[in-house]
Structure 1
Amino acid sequence: MRYGGNTPCVEVRAADDGLLILDAGTGIRALGAQLMSDGDARTAHIFLSHRHSDHVLGLSHFAPLISQTREVLICCGDGETASLQSFVDALLSPPMFPYVDGIRSRLGVCDWQHSAARQVGTSGVHRFAAQHPGEAAVLRIDDAQGPAVAYAPDNELAYADQSEATVRWRARLAAFLRGVPVLVHDATYRDEELPAHVGWGHSSSLEATRLAIECGAGMLVLFHHHPDRDDEAVERMVEESRAMAMQAGSALRVLAAWEGLALSV
């Protein structure tokens, strides 16, 4: 009731008022309604962390796209078999969605290489390969002052895995996130739930906290709550993460994402 049940969608407004949207889950429906209410006609840049259904199934209900009131550009990483264009076409066509005349006329797509940054006005969007089935990515948005926010909705940190490759990957990830003011990170599980979900591509709240401490993040926002988790359970996880940070002598701030949460960076 408090934290909400929509699937991932995060809006980022840059200092130059550039509009960046991270993922197109069901939360994008409410965002689209708000954008229509504001009457702003700026291009909406949608960056997908990956193509799993919970991260894209809101796209066809994004009001600015249906109303054709603004340009919409979708970017997603490489590595999938189908091109991004054919994937988006399938999402917006029967049998997934009824034919709507012109719905794709203001929609552009861009495939996105891992090594390349995408520039939106004064904001640079960078990708880092996550540990999650389906070519998922961690996204970091920089402004003129440097890193501003990082977004890792589906990412298996797997601290129990001490293999050389995984340890190296975690070290590179921490370097990629070094000093980020706000880290939005996957916290689907509790530690005791991890052994039953090895390879599923998700982390625990305490694993996310450990990473945030290691990379020197200013704030950790626990994200991608398990759908069976109630508000009280989420709040207990926040308290456990805060206690972990305090015990480590870290100034890290921890909260859990809820629908409508707004943060200034």
Structure 2
Amino acid sequence: MSASVPPRVRIRFWGTRGTCPSPGPRTVRYGGNTPCVEVRGPDNHVIILDAGSGIRALGAHLLAAGHSTPIQLLLSHRHSDHVLGLAHFAPLFEPGNRIHVRCGEGEADALAAFTRAMLTPPLFPAVDGLSSRLDFSEWDDHDAPLSNGLVVKRFPARHPGEAAIFRFDDANGPLLAYAPDNELAYHDQSAEVRAWRAALADFLRGVPVLIHDATYRHHELPQHAGWGHSSHVEATRLALECGARTLVLFHHHPDRDDDSVEQMVEECRAQATRSGAPLRLLAAWEGLTLSV
């Protein structure tokens, strides 16, 4: 019997909620922690997407497992729900550990100052050596090699705060894309926005797993224009346009209970069925694991 082929990449969700943590009985199934996604390639190096409150549980898991390989953190942007967990990431408190924070061209100095401010009074007690365990590096041309052949590419999201969308590739092509905060605004038919959407669809073309912002229900969009988020219907439309195989609805609204999230999934599945495309639909929950 031949040995099984290892996955090209493994994905695990530790925080799936947007805006602010929302723990409680109404969010048990899909989770109340803010964005944090773990990505591992064949070499088992840890790549973390965003440092929301979900990173606390990830840090405890890494320490319990005795993880010792390098850790890389990619921040989509600096809004509080995406960074508020960093000060509670247990590996940061282990002497000798290094957390490599990757950012876009021209962002390293500003991100370093911002992050160190989060880890010092008055926002956090003074802990010797804490901020010195963070290394900041930037890449040019929206393209950077990661571990064992993985490459990350960046694309500008439509979201206040200069957020980024990440796409991971290996030698065999696209693997996954991560767009946690992104306003697709299909109602906007201006030439500029239409060109941006077309370029985004090309950027995501054929990606096996698309993790995309689905903060709003479709009828909620008019009162939140310009807020930088999409509906579940829009996320599904984009997934169909770019030929994704799996769409994972993400960045659930803090007031959205589990039953409502489930209803949104069913609506998206019906939308995909009507299109005739073989699109798999999921809503991210804490603990969900996927492989490509």
> TM-score scaled to structure 2, two decimals?
0.88
Supply the distance in 1 between the matched residues of 2:212 and 2:40 (Cα, whole angstroms): 19
CA distances 1:106-161 after superposition (whole Å, capped 9, x unpaired): 21012344x23121121111100000000101101112211101000000000000
SS at match of 1:32: helix
1:1-265 mapped onto 2 (5 Å cutoff): 1-68=28-95, 70-78=97-105, 83-113=110-140, 115-121=141-147, 122-265=149-292
CA distance in 2, matches of 1:234, 1:66: 36
Contact kept? 1:18, 1:120, Cα under 8 Å: no
Deviation at 1:77, TM superposition (A): 2.9
Query: Gapped runs of 5+ residues in structure 1?
Result: none
Contact kept in structure 2, 1:42 and 1:70, CA below 8 Å: no
Deviates more, 1:80-89 or 1:28-37: 80-89
Q: What TM-score comes out, normalization by structure 1 length?
A: 0.96
Partners of 1:163 and 1:140 lie apart in 2 by 26
- Distance in 1 (alpha carbons) for counterparts of 2:225 and 2:106: 23
Q: Which amino acid aligns with 1:117?
A: D
1:206 Cα offset (Å): 0.5
Structure 1 residues 79 and 227, CA gap change in structure 2 (3 angstroms) = farther
- The answer to whether the 8 A contact 1:80-1:134 is kept is no
Q: Which has the higher contact order (CA 8 A, sep 6+)?
A: 2
In 1, the alpha carbon distance for the partners of 2:138 and 2:88 equals 22
| Equivalent residues, number | 264
- Alpha-carbon distance in structure 2 between the residues aligned to 1:124 and 1:58: 25
**Contact 2:236–2:247 at 8 Å: present in 1 too?**
yes
CA distance in 1, matches of 2:236, 2:268: 6
Give unpaired runs (5+ residues) of structure 2: 1-27
Deviation, 1:18, is 2.1
Shift of 1:68: 3.0
Q: CA RMSD in A?
A: 1.4
Q: Percent identity?
A: 62
Does the 8 A contact of 1:218 with 1:251 survive in 2? yes
Displacement of 1:75:
1.6
Q: Indicate the SS of the match to 2:63.
A: helix
Q: Which amino acid aligns with 1:45?
A: Q
How far the C-alpha of 1:105 sits from its partner, in A, is: 2.7
**Residues 20-61 of structure 1: CA distance to partner in whole angstroms, max 9, x if unpaired?**
100000000000000001111111100000010100010010
Q: Is the 8 A contact 2:108 2:137 kept in 1?
A: no
**Quick one: distance in 1 between partners of 2:259 and 2:110?**
42
Structure 1 distance, partners of 2:40, 2:109, is: 31
- Does structure 2 conserve the Cα–Cα contact (< 8 Å) formed by 1:221 and 1:254? yes
Tell me, yes or no, if the aligned pair for 1:41 and 1:69 is still in contact at 8 Å: no
